[in-house]
Structure 1
Amino acid sequence: MHHFIDVLLPIPLQKAFTYHITKAESEFLEIGMRVAVPFRKSKIYTGLVYKIHNNPPTAYDAKTIHQILDDQPVITKSQLQHWEWIAGYYMCSLGEVMRAAMPNAFILESETIISKNEKVEVKDTELKDEEFLIYEALQYQSSLKINDVVSILDKKRVLPVINSLVEKGVINLQEELYEKYQPKLVRYVKLHENHKSEAKLQELLEELSRAPKQREVVLTLFSMEASERRPIKVSELTDRSGASSSIIKSLIDKTILEEYHLKTDRVQFDGEGDADTKQLSEAQLEALDSINSIFEEKPVALLHGVTSSGKTEIYVQLIQKQLELGKQVLYLLPEIALTTQLVQRLQDYFGDKVAVFHSRYSGNERVEVWHNMLKNSEKAQVVIGARSSLLLPFNDLGLIIVDEEHEQSYKQFDPAPRYHARDAAIVLANFHKAKTLLGSATPSLESYYNATQGKYGLVELNIRYNNVLMPDIELVDLADKYKRKRMKGHFSDRMIEEMAETLDEGFQIILFQNRRGFSPIIECTTCGNSPQCPNCDVSLTYHQYRNQLRCHYCGYNSAMLQNCQACGNPTLDTKGFGTEQIEEEVKVLFPDKKVARMDLDTTRGKYGFEKIINNFEQRDIDILVGTQMLTKGLDFRHVKLVGIMNADNLLNFPDFRAHERSYQLMAQVSGRAGRTDLRGKVLIQTYNPHHNILQQVSTNSYKEMFAEQMNDRYNFKYPPIYRLIKITFKHKDYNRVNLAADWYAKSLRQIFKANVLGPEFPPVSRIRNLYNKNILIKISPNQSLGKTKEAILKIDNSFNAVKDFRAVRVVLNVDNY
């Protein structure tokens, strides 16, 4: 009797491949263990055992496996079920889901590159003989491929050796390495407790009469402490008192001054105690009760709470309850930037039960989280992460929180699986019989629609925490301001006035502009030509700090041109504006204030976000300019003014969701203002102040926006009423893309008739030298989704059987919102 296994490979294959194993192996192997297998000619892949059986494959002879890599499964049964659902629903292969889910270190291939981890000191004694051989080879060579290791050790089964080196942290696998960020410790000083009273201070000043410089320092510090109720940095004290740092050091040595370091905590002088003392307000308690009672009947609840209403505190209570029941919690966030702020808060509550998982973590860190979850260790009871943390091996999930559930970052666009984390989370929760809580100040129409239909429970939280008022939102009419010459650069007189007032009162400002770079268009004033990207159909964006032109689609860049390429005149001018230009203008308007910028260019490294967020929290930055990264649920205490530089480029976007997204974005940005007892102010600059969406944002009328947008969606057959599947064709040859898309559309029309739109070129139709063309299929509410997908896959198979079309890439995107 022969024994076989079906193996999943991390490549887009229609089905699992069958391999031959021995009887002993079949008794040892379990589903979810990894095996190294040969595939094609000489490639070795890491595959997952998917089935163990006795049926030989009919179409080919089964090869034998190279080796078994685990002694326990690395993925769980329910995880595999969830993967199967994702592959089926989002029309991709299981291999693609596996590739997305597993850390790179788990799926080694013969091509994987190994390099030495420079940061780790290794003692020879810690390594086994074979490990030492590889380590030694890396002293002479910067990197090795897996095949090189095979020849060094002269045996085929090298992956276990490499794995143990990875676990010991000795080597890195080919991945981007991110620098470690050491939070800057800032030195603060205060008068020592012994000298706080008036009398003691007098004595001290007399003692110091012979040391006038030291006396001056003490007096300065005393007056600073009295007038400004905040911690005093050593650097500020030396500036104010004109003393050198050695004088301050000798005062600290005499214990007249006391120095202390603050890392990243917000400094509060209102004596907020330990993390477990936050009292929920009445509104929060009511919301918490409603959520708990909804969970008795329904699997999903939507918490619609205005910005700054204290949703996080409610989440903490719910997490606490699950931990007491011994269950795990998954807390999903749309942006890595948000995890940095939240991790700190959750660690205060739950200590090291919190595990973090997202794409800026190195391979070794991700492997660690994975192993902790498999062992169900204490360290991974609360998992915080971006969308990919959904694919981890959970043991006993009790609750999934999807925070800011309306965010588009939850949908993955490339590569496959193109899943939507919110929808996939609800399914994952069902596998575990767990509950899902969706939270947002501006829910997506889909979720709110489901709540009005009774599919989800709905909880409203309409008051901000501590009854802080909602910000006052004012629309500034740009057309009028330009006409009356009331603009300085891109700032209206109202904006400058409010900014000056806010800064005088010692508060901070956030300015929002949805374009990075300095200027999106460079145009020649003589002939009107503007530099285009050679690989994409877009104009190049000018980045001033590097003095170069960049393409935001493919990353192409060139030095800034001196002369127009068409007519040769040096008359190149910038049109439009991005975050860099706003930053420049602010520096000119307020030269003595600290300005910083937060966009994709300034937050590259692993800790790019932390640096900026920490500086802003410690009030080292007065004005923060940024793109939509700023809009996501960040919590800054001292922001009084938020400025939206131009609302129109959001509203006029060619997409059926443009209005919904603009409302969400502006409401979220506004929510960053006035989070303490001061009423915040929001200024929105626009050429169209009477636009419905802007009126709805300024009166905070979510329900009106919902009703109006839903009306459009009904009339034009869009989600949430109809479902969408978008099919994109990509190829470098324009004609071939056209032919392929037409053939496909014709086949689809035979089945779906009028519900097929296109093929149509998108606004940017050539990216990275590939032409893109889209077809949109609308699926009516009473049509079976499963049957629809089967029909599409049938057409897809016959499409791929046509030789001329084989080179055209077809991308299926289900629910492309």
Structure 2
Amino acid sequence: MSYFIDVILPIPLDKEFTYSITENEAIFLKPGMRVAVQFGKSKIYAALVTKIHRDPPQVYEAKEIEHILDESPIVTKEQLELWTWISKYYMCTKGEVMRAALPSAFLLESETIILRNDKISIDESLLKDDEFLIYEALQYQSLLRIQEVINIVSKKNVLPVIKRLIEKDIITVQEEIYEQYKPKMVRYVKLHPNYSKEAALRPLLDSMTRAPKQREVLMQLFTLQAKATKPIKVSELIKQSNSTSAVIKTLIDKEILDEYHLQIDRVQFQGEIQDNFKTLNEYQLKAFDEINRSFQQKRVCLLHGVTSSGKTEVYVKLIEEVLVTGRQVLYLLPEIALTTQLISRLQEYFGEKLTVYHSKYSVNERVEAWNNVKEGKSKAQVVIGARSAIFLPFVDLGLIIVDEEHESSFKQYDPAPRYHARDTAIVLAKMFEAKIVLGSATPAVETYYNAKEGKYGLVTLNRRYGNVLMPEINLVDIKTKYRKKQMTGHFSDTLLEGINDAIKEGEQVILFQNRRGYSPVVECNTCGHSPQCPNCDVSLTFHSHKNQLRCHYCGYHMAMLQQCMACSSTELSTKGFGTEQIEKELIALFPEYVVGRMDQDTTRGKYGYEKIINRFEQGEIDILVGTQMLSKGLDFRNVSLVGVMNADNLLNFPDFRAHERSFQLMQQVAGRAGRTKKRGRVLIQTYNPFHQILQQVSVHDYTGMYKDQIEERHQYKYPPFYRLIKITGKHKDYNKVNNAINWFAKSLRNVFNENVLGPEFPPISRIRNQYHKNILIKIPQGQSLAKTKGVIKKMQLTFSSIKEFSGVRIIINVDNY
């Protein structure tokens, strides 16, 4: 009797594929286990089993699987349900979701191995140069990998050469699949069983008088054993006895010591747990009780608490309640920078129960975190991480906290799946019948609307912890300051005075500029030419630290020009400014103080964020300059002044969320000031101090901003009243993408009429040598979302069958905001 399995392959194809298995394999296999399968002519993938059945495929003959890779499922039933929802809602394939969800160590792909054919004799004179190089290399080593062949012949495309050698029967090719995850093994030692009795031990010690180093190692081993009951590491014994690994090896060889290995987790908690949970003040207690009351009727609750109101303490109390019941907790944060600061705070409360999961962790560390969560271990009861933590294999999820829920970092833009972690978390909570808290000082307009309409619970916390006053926000009119010559570089006299006063009083300052690099534009004073990126439609940004011009879209870089590329003039000047230029100006203005910078350039390493945050917390940095990383809920106790260098480039942006985002960003940055006893101060430099949003920021008027925005959204048909789907066409040929997307828009307009906007080229229409053109579809509340997506899918199928549009890539982004 035939048995079959359906599997998901980690490739962007829309359907699952069927393979045949034996009866014994059918008994052993379960959904969520991986099997190695051949797909195409020779490629082998690790595929994920979703179903075991007895229905053969109708269109093709099922291939047999190569072998089974797991002994138990690595993916749970709930995860497979979530993947299905994501692929349907965000209009992507399950293979793309699988690629995003699994740690890369689980996504095994085969590697092509090239072997010499020993069965035939070869006339070397008939070989071309590149063929001979490969043939010669195979005389010295048994096999070659593709990357090695690329290095040997110094060509990127080596497939034609390999094909010629296969045709001449000189080489054979096979696929090899290999595991990437290696558990961490630690070496331990103990006394050999021969010397476990005292009678055997005395003569041994007497015989070692001539080997004092070996004797010292043994004495230290006894001392360590007396102190603690846990196993003794080789590294620890070497350190304590001031010895070397050679001495240990000699003792093992003589069978005096016995060595063994134990597997340990790479990430472990070291430190003391503090039992003294902070007591909540009356406002936090009230918020805590209200959240629990709202959970009786609603699954989702929005905690709208002003900056520094102590939302984290309320979360800790909620987590504590869930842990008592033995269920798991997921704590989502928008930025890795935030996790570093929050981990140390939460570890004080939960110690070993905490697991961290984000992209700066190594592949092996992520696999271990994955396994701990799946096995429901106590060390993974509270999981804290960035958006990818939503994909972990939870077994009994009781609570999800989405902190700073308004943040755009929760949305994945590239590659697919283009999911939003906050919305996905709400679906995940429903699957486990768990509760979910969305927390923010400046909630997203859609979330606040849902709370106001009664879809979510709403709890407000409008007092700062310790009754500290909200920071005083002043707008500085730099247009007038420039006219009155009261500017020094990019600093107004008001801001310089504020920085001076704060530092003299031993306090710290944060300056916010939402642009990294030194200067966004380098321009020739003679002819006005500015160097552009050859791959994108943007000017190159000058980075003075490396004396380079860089493109922030594709990474292209070149040395800073000495003369204009167009007219050879040496008169070059920089326009605009980034964090690097602010840092340089500050060092010149305040030479006796320490200036730090926090942006993408300075936080590249695994502990990049940690180092800067720790230095700032310990008072080693007086003034910290940074991009929006600084606005994300960081808690610095000694900051009394925050300066926003230029508010206008946030406001004047072609996006329906520009004003909402500007308000959120400035309000969050302002929230870093005066978080303890003294009232903080915020200075916002702008050319237009009478702008409605800036006026609302200055008086912390979130509800005023919300009312304005919701009216505009209603009037112009934007979320939350209409859903949006953005369709982008990409191709290196301008005319091809233009014609293709015009056809697509015309077809959509036949169905959705005036609810189709575009097509149009975005402000930056070419990135990485690919032209982009966009269509925006607005879906009114009464219109079926599923049917709309069905129509788009059908059109996409028709589109892909039109020959003249071949090669144009269509990208669908649901809820693209």
Using the size of structure 1 for normalisation, the TM-score is 0.82
- In structure 1, the partner of 2:182 is 166
Seen in structure 2, the aligned counterparts of structure 1 residues 141 and 447 have a Cα distance that, compared at 3 Å, is farther
1:687 is aligned with what amino acid? Y
d(CA) in 2 for partners of 1:51, 1:12: 20
1:17 is aligned with what amino acid? F
2:107 is equivalent to residue 107 of structure 1: yes
- In structure 2, the partner of 1:325 is 325
- In structure 1, the partner of 2:585 is 585
Deviation at 1:292, TM superposition (A): 0.2
Q: How does 1:482-521 map to 2 (within 5 A)?
A: 482-521=482-521
d(CA) in 2 for partners of 1:720, 1:45: 41
- In structure 2, the partner of 1:717 is 717
- In structure 2, the partner of 1:377 is 377
2:108 is aligned with what amino acid? L
- In structure 2, the partner of 1:596 is 596
Q: Is the 8 A contact 1:404 1:439 kept in 2?
A: yes
Secondary structure of the equivalent of 2:182? helix
2:301 is equivalent to residue 285 of structure 1: no
Deviation at 1:167, TM superposition (A): 2.2
Q: How does 1:133-148 map to 2 (within 5 A)?
A: none
Deviation at 1:804, TM superposition (A): 2.0
* 1:332-364 CA distance string (max 9 Å, x none): 000000000011111111111111100111100
Q: Is the 8 A contact 2:44 2:175 kept in 1?
A: no
Q: Is the 8 A contact 2:18 2:62 kept in 1?
A: yes
* 1:713-762 CA distance string (max 9 Å, x none): 00100111100000000000000001110110011011100000001100
d(CA) in 1 for partners of 2:656, 2:438: 23
d(CA) in 2 for partners of 1:169, 1:157: 29
Seen in structure 2, the aligned counterparts of structure 1 residues 631 and 537 have a Cα distance that, compared at 3 Å, is same
d(CA) in 1 for partners of 2:557, 2:688: 35
Deviation at 1:71, TM superposition (A): 1.1
2:628 is equivalent to residue 628 of structure 1: yes
Q: Is the 8 A contact 2:43 2:175 kept in 1?
A: no
* 1:296-323 CA distance string (max 9 Å, x none): 1001000000000000000000000000
* 1:11-47 CA distance string (max 9 Å, x none): 1111011111111111110000000000111111000
Structure whose CA Rg is larger: 2
Deviation at 1:277, TM superposition (A): 3.8
d(CA) in 1 for partners of 2:47, 2:761: 39
Q: How does 1:345-356 map to 2 (within 5 A)?
A: 345-356=345-356
d(CA) in 1 for partners of 2:603, 2:355: 22
* 1:661-697 CA distance string (max 9 Å, x none): 0000000000000001011000000000000000000
- In structure 2, the partner of 1:179 is none
2:183 is aligned with what amino acid? E
d(CA) in 1 for partners of 2:347, 2:148: 43
2:431 is aligned with what amino acid? F
2:395 is equivalent to residue 395 of structure 1: yes
1:284 is aligned with what amino acid? Q
d(CA) in 1 for partners of 2:665, 2:396: 35
Q: Is the 8 A contact 1:67 1:157 kept in 2?
A: no
Q: Is the 8 A contact 2:42 2:175 kept in 1?
A: no
- In structure 2, the partner of 1:702 is 702
Deviation at 1:400, TM superposition (A): 0.4
Q: Is the 8 A contact 1:109 1:146 kept in 2?
A: no
d(CA) in 2 for partners of 1:158, 1:556: 35
2:770 is aligned with what amino acid? L
Q: How does 1:188-227 map to 2 (within 5 A)?
A: none
- In structure 2, the partner of 1:780 is 780
d(CA) in 2 for partners of 1:672, 1:354: 26
- In structure 1, the partner of 2:18 is 18
Secondary structure of the equivalent of 1:759? strand
d(CA) in 2 for partners of 1:600, 1:544: 15
Secondary structure of the equivalent of 2:313? helix
Q: How does 1:40-119 map to 2 (within 5 A)?
A: 40-111=40-111
d(CA) in 1 for partners of 2:148, 2:47: 17
d(CA) in 1 for partners of 2:510, 2:681: 11
Q: Is the 8 A contact 2:725 2:816 kept in 1?
A: yes
Unpaired runs of 5+ in structure 2? 114-140, 150-171, 187-271
Deviation at 1:814, TM superposition (A): 0.2
Seen in structure 2, the aligned counterparts of structure 1 residues 573 and 753 have a Cα distance that, compared at 3 Å, is same
Q: Is the 8 A contact 1:110 1:147 kept in 2?
A: no
2:808 is equivalent to residue 791 of structure 1: no
d(CA) in 2 for partners of 1:143, 1:670: 58
* 1:253-304 CA distance string (max 9 Å, x none): xxxxxxxxxxxxxxxxxxx994524110100000000000000100100000
Q: Is the 8 A contact 1:112 1:146 kept in 2?
A: no
Q: How does 1:636-655 map to 2 (within 5 A)?
A: 636-655=636-655
Deviation at 1:111, TM superposition (A): 3.2
Q: Is the 8 A contact 2:642 2:682 kept in 1?
A: yes
- In structure 2, the partner of 1:546 is 546
d(CA) in 1 for partners of 2:660, 2:532: 31
Seen in structure 2, the aligned counterparts of structure 1 residues 277 and 71 have a Cα distance that, compared at 3 Å, is closer
d(CA) in 2 for partners of 1:49, 1:791: 30
2:7 is equivalent to residue 7 of structure 1: yes
Unpaired runs of 5+ in structure 1? 114-139, 149-153, 171-271
Q: How many matched pairs?
A: 684
1:53 is aligned with what amino acid? H
d(CA) in 2 for partners of 1:60, 1:435: 45
Seen in structure 2, the aligned counterparts of structure 1 residues 304 and 73 have a Cα distance that, compared at 3 Å, is same
Q: Is the 8 A contact 2:110 2:175 kept in 1?
A: no
Secondary structure of the equivalent of 1:36? strand
Q: Is the 8 A contact 2:651 2:658 kept in 1?
A: yes
* 1:395-442 CA distance string (max 9 Å, x none): 000010000000000000000000000000000000000011000000
d(CA) in 1 for partners of 2:514, 2:533: 21
* 1:524-580 CA distance string (max 9 Å, x none): 111111110000000000000000000011000000001011111001100000000
Q: Is the 8 A contact 1:730 1:770 kept in 2?
A: yes
- In structure 2, the partner of 1:681 is 681
Percent identity of paired positions between Structure 1 and Structure 2: 65
Secondary structure of the equivalent of 2:74? coil
1:415 is aligned with what amino acid? P
1:669 is aligned with what amino acid? V
Secondary structure of the equivalent of 2:342? helix
- In structure 1, the partner of 2:217 is none
d(CA) in 1 for partners of 2:283, 2:404: 20
Secondary structure of the equivalent of 2:329? strand
Q: Is the 8 A contact 1:740 1:808 kept in 2?
A: yes
- In structure 2, the partner of 1:260 is none
- In structure 2, the partner of 1:425 is 425
1:526 is aligned with what amino acid? T
Using the size of structure 2 for normalisation, the TM-score is 0.82
Q: Is the 8 A contact 1:111 1:146 kept in 2?
A: no
- In structure 1, the partner of 2:555 is 555
Secondary structure of the equivalent of 2:179? helix
2:179 is aligned with what amino acid? I
Q: How does 1:447-466 map to 2 (within 5 A)?
A: 447-466=447-466
- In structure 1, the partner of 2:692 is 692
d(CA) in 2 for partners of 1:322, 1:84: 28
Q: How does 1:436-455 map to 2 (within 5 A)?
A: 436-455=436-455
Seen in structure 2, the aligned counterparts of structure 1 residues 157 and 340 have a Cα distance that, compared at 3 Å, is same
- In structure 2, the partner of 1:362 is 362
d(CA) in 2 for partners of 1:644, 1:492: 11
- In structure 2, the partner of 1:225 is none
Q: Is the 8 A contact 1:520 1:575 kept in 2?
A: yes
Secondary structure of the equivalent of 1:470? coil
* 1:175-228 CA distance string (max 9 Å, x none): xxxxxxxxxxxxxxxxxxxxxxxxxxxxxxxxxxxxxxxxxxxxxxxxxxxxxx
Q: Is the 8 A contact 2:401 2:439 kept in 1?
A: yes
Deviation at 1:705, TM superposition (A): 0.2
